[in-house]
Amino acid sequence: MHINELISGAIDQVYAGVERLYKDIHQHPELPFEEFETSRKLAEQLRQAGYEVTTGVGKTGVVGLLRNGEGPCVMLRGDMDALPIREQTGLDYASCKQTEAGIPVMHACGHDLHASCLAGAAAVLHALREHWQGTLMIVHQPAEEIFGGAQAMLADGLYERFARPDVILGQHNMPALSGMVGHLAGQTMSAATTLGVTIHGNGGHGSMPAQTVDPVVIAAHAVVRLQTIVSREVEPSEQVIVTVGKLQAGTQGNVIPHSAELEINVRSFSDEVHDQVIAAIKRIIDAECQAGRSPRPAEYRVLTETITMNNDAATVARLRQAHGDFFGAGQLFEMKRLGGSEDFPYFGNAAAGGFGGEDIPYAYWFIGAATPENWQTTTGDRAAERMLQLPMPHSPYYAPDRQPSLITGMAAMVTGALAFFER
């Protein structure tokens, strides 16, 4: 029998269980680093599939190992955390979960899909283990949404305790037509930093501004001048975003507050430019504080941070071939660079990921999750443009086309891994 038929047959075998797992995880979403039940379910599934399983890696991460003879080590990574969003999809397996603090939780980014596809792919690759040789490392990563899980797993000795991969593969769903698979070599997602800033003033009565230092005025000047970083300081050929998403000070009109808080989001596609922009932000805020007689220097905190995703070109070429052989070349599309970000690239970047030796090649592709009905409402020639017209991940209405998305995600992982093993 041809390998494609074996893969399709094995996916059919595991499908019902994977769909059950998906609905269960969707209905019971958990926030970053709180994925205790989710990781328990995923660990149980891996054990049943025949893997050596370790839980609690990087707090709630799960690692499954299948040592299957001489050959390369392939790491397949999926994420599993959810978002603080109230689900509005109307699905019969919609989340009705709230945290103890009353925060609604929803799998609005489809990490339930990724986790279920990875669980299914693990079972299929175990069933087909006579057809490949090497070591398969399954990594269910926590806390992608806050860019914490990848580094937490690496800091917990992922490569030292288990295996050091030769190649790392990951995927994300997108509202392209379900059944489609999109690739892009090189820079694919941006580096991102969210900075928290405290500007200090000297509060007092609103009728006596001369006896105070007003942090509202300092913050207002800073916000306006920060807009000149992209327009006046960065090379126009660079794609950079500086957004002040939060500006908070004071309680009422007749009180001059003691301090002002900013949160600033920076996105770029080059480490050098990223450092340049962060330095410019600090220079401008420090100078505005001085100009406004601030009694002490502003304080800066990195709230979240991740690096640029740079997909290895040779790895992407091999994946395109493998995915084309399985799905048909007509199902593939050329992805476009996204302003969004991921912590997945830490797994391949030795310096940023804090592991020794060389960088490890990685690639990350996109699977379609839009229903044919929704897809028909979009216009344009390129799938990567059309998908931007539909609700994106993080929308309370985001609902992947279940069956075709699960099957595509499993098959993309299985055929992707097989492309790098000894056959």
Burial of 355 per CB tally in 10 Å (0-12, 13-18, 19+): buried
Nearer to Zn ion (CB atom), residue 115 or residue 419: 115
Whole-number minimum distance, CB 240 to Zn ion, in Å?
Answer: 21
The distance from CA 38 to its chain's CA centroid, rounded to whole angstroms, is 17
Q: Which part of the chain contacts Zn ion (CB under 5 A), choosing from 86-94, 107-115, 175-183, 377-385?
A: 107-115
Nearer to Zn ion (CB atom), residue 142 or residue 203: 142
Nearer to Zn ion (CB atom), residue 135 or residue 188: 188
Total chain residues near Zn ion (CB under 5 A): 1
Position 113 contacts Zn ion (CB under 5 A): no
Whole-number minimum distance, CB 394 to Zn ion, in Å?
Answer: 6
Whole-number minimum distance, CB 83 to Zn ion, in Å?
Answer: 7
Q: Are 135 and 163 within 8 A, CB to CB?
A: yes
CA distance 153 to 134: 22
Tokens 């007092």 -> residue: 204
Nearer to Zn ion (CB atom), residue 94 or residue 392: 392
Nearer to Zn ion (CB atom), residue 149 or residue 215: 149
CA distance 282 to 298: 9
Whole-number minimum distance, CB 108 to Zn ion, in Å?
Answer: 7
Whole-number minimum distance, CB 29 to Zn ion, in Å?
Answer: 12
Whole-number minimum distance, CB 103 to Zn ion, in Å?
Answer: 16
Nearer to Zn ion (CB atom), residue 201 or residue 348: 348
Sole binder of Zn ion in the list 25, 109, 177, 189 (CB under 5 A): 109
CA distance 408 to 132: 21
Residue 33 structure tokens: 């680093």
Nearer to Zn ion (CB atom), residue 126 or residue 172: 172
Nearer to Zn ion (CB atom), residue 106 or residue 109: 109
The dihedral region occupied by 375, where left means phi > 0, alpha psi between -120 and 50, and beta the remainder, is alpha
Q: Would you tell me how many other CB atoms lie within 10 Å of the CB of residue 85? A: 19
Position 180 contacts Zn ion (CB under 5 A): no
Q: How far is CA 118 from CA 21, 178, 271, 304, in A?
A: 11, 17, 31, 26
Position 417 contacts Zn ion (CB under 5 A): no
CA distance 248 to 134: 54
Nearer to Zn ion (CB atom), residue 162 or residue 398: 398
Whole-number minimum distance, CB 109 to Zn ion, in Å?
Answer: 3
Q: Are 366 and 400 within 8 A, CB to CB?
A: no
Ranges assigned E (strand) in 218-298: 241-249, 255-256, 259-268
Position 367 contacts Zn ion (CB under 5 A): no
The answer for residues whose C-beta is within 8 angstroms of residue 323's C-beta and 6 or more apart is: 181, 183, 331, 332, 365, 412, 415, 416
Q: Which part of the chain contacts Zn ion (CB under 5 A), choosing from 109-117, 290-298, 299-307, 368-376?
A: 109-117
Q: Are 335 and 384 within 8 A, CB to CB?
A: yes
Residue whose C-beta lies closest to Zn ion: 109
Whole-number minimum distance, CB 378 to Zn ion, in Å?
Answer: 21
Q: Which part of the chain contacts Zn ion (CB under 5 A), choosing from 49-57, 105-113, 240-248, 380-388?
A: 105-113
Whole-number minimum distance, CB 170 to Zn ion, in Å?
Answer: 10
Contact residues toward Zn ion (CB under 5 A) are 109
